[in-house]
Structure 1
Amino acid sequence: MAVKDRDRFSTATRLRVLGEQTAARVYRSQTRRQARRSRLTGRAALLTLVLCSLIVALAFPMRQYVSQRADIADQLREQEEARARVEQLRDDKARWRDDAYAEQRIRERLHYVMPGEIGYTVVDPRADEEHRADRGSADRAWYTTLWGALDRADGAPAPSP
């Protein structure tokens, strides 16, 4: 028995037994981790699938909601602009009911003068020649412009067939 005891307590034997025990523990923990990992992977895949489905299902309604909110904001802005324009038109209408305002505007726009007044038209002396050239026919009578256009049309060569 001494040999067996010696063999049992030898360093090589102890290391071999320790290595086998360690290998068994590592193997058991790896299989547990793999089992856990496979369960977590399945759960994670299911959770991912559910989340992706929710995102896809909610994407279109959310886009519609945001689009409709933008449309509503545009409509409200246009409504406020229309209200402001209506107020401005009401103010203008009330002003035009005042005879003094109407008379002032008519005299400005149409260059009317009251009996006994003298009307003046002031021409800017700094007006350049290009501006006058742009006006062209405005300096002539309308019938002169008409006859000039007819003369030019009459003198134009006929289009060839």
Structure 2
Amino acid sequence: MAVKDRDRFSTATRIRLLGEQTAARVYRSQTKRQARRSRLTGRAALLALVLCTLIVAMAYPIRQYVSQRAEISDLQREKEDAAERVERLRDLKARWQDDKYAEQQIRQRLHYVMPGETGYIVIDPDAAKQSRADLGAADRPWYSNVWDAVDKSDAADQ
């Protein structure tokens, strides 16, 4: 037993035992790490596949939802514009119910005057020259005026 004890405590034996223990630990940790890595990789792949499937499945409904929300927003804006226009038209209708406003508009737009008043219309000098040039057109038959207008437009195109 003394030989065995001495052999057990020799440096070479201890180094050999330490090497074997270390190798066993390294082997165990590598196999655990590989097992853990392979499990996580499979899980990660499955998770990625599920996420991609969900994204693809939800892409069309989300796009529809966004486009419908934009359409609803546009329709609400149009509704507000229409409500403003209705309000303006109601105001205009209420103004036209007033006789004084109607009289003012008739005088302004149709150049009407009340009995005893003198109406004046100021003509632009350039417009007066142009109307004098067309004065001869009133003396001719209507079809001559039409034909002259066609000739003028044809000359303008060339």
TM over 0.5: yes
Q: Indicate if the aligned counterparts of 1:107 and 1:113 stay in contact, CA closer than 8 A.
A: yes
User: Does residue 71 of the first structure (1) align with residue 56 of the second (2)?
Assistant: no
Rounded to whole Å, the distance in 1 between the matches of 2:15 and 2:44 is: 41
Rounded to whole Å, the distance in 2 between the matches of 1:88 and 1:23 is: 92
Could you list the structure 1 runs, at least 4 aligned residues long, displaced by more than 3 angstroms after superposition.
1-7, 120-124, 135-139, 141-149, 151-154
Q: Percent of pairs identical after alignment?
A: 68
Rounded to whole Å, the distance in 2 between the matches of 1:152 and 1:68 is: 52
Count of residues in correspondence between the two structures? 148
Secondary structure of the equivalent of 2:61? helix
Rounded to whole Å, the distance in 2 between the matches of 1:114 and 1:26 is: 116
Decide whether aligned partners of structure 1 residues 18 and 136 sit closer, same or farther in structure 2, where only a CA change above 3 A counts. farther
Decide whether aligned partners of structure 1 residues 153 and 61 sit closer, same or farther in structure 2, where only a CA change above 3 A counts. closer
User: Does residue 30 of the first structure (1) align with residue 59 of the second (2)?
Assistant: no
TM-score, normalization by structure 2? 0.75
Gaps of 5+ in 1: none
Amino acid paired to 2:132: R
Partner of residue 148 from structure 2, selected from 147, 150, 155? 150
Please name the residue that 1:84 is paired with: 84
What are the within-5 Å matches in structure 2 for residues 119-134 of structure 1?
A: 119-121=119-121, 132=126
Partner of residue 140 from structure 1, selected from 116, 119, 132? 132
Deviates more, 1:16-25 or 1:85-94: 85-94
TM-score, normalization by structure 1? 0.74
Deviation at 1:103, TM superposition (A): 1.0
Deviates more, 1:100-109 or 1:7-16: 7-16
Gaps of 5+ in 2: none
- Per-residue displacement from partner, 1:98-145 (whole Å, max 9, x unpaired)? 221111011112222222222334578xx9xxxx4xx59744364446
Deviation at 1:45, TM superposition (A): 1.2
